[in-house]
Amino acid sequence: MSLGPHADFIIAAYALALFVVAALTAWVTLDYAAQRRILGDLEERGVTRRSGRESQ
């Protein structure tokens, strides 16, 4: 596959798209881990949601 005389522009476009997709993926993955960790900490300290208590 030859990218011709404008290979730099093509590679830059694909690199940017890859970076943005990787950043979005990292954001949802790390955010999920963080929220799960905080929820776990709160539950360990005995804090429950009102709806959680009612269902028990």
Contact 23, 16 (CB under 8 A): no
- Residues 3 and 13: their CA atoms lie apart, in Å, by 13
| Contact string (CB under 8 A) for other proteins, positions 17-46, x = contact | x--xx-xxx-xxx-xx--xx-xx--x--x-
- Residues 46 and 52: their CA atoms lie apart, in Å, by 12
CB of 45 to other proteins, least distance (A): 8
| Residue 4 engages other proteins in binding (rule: CB under 8 A) | yes
Residue placing its CB nearer to other proteins in the complex, 2 or 56: 2
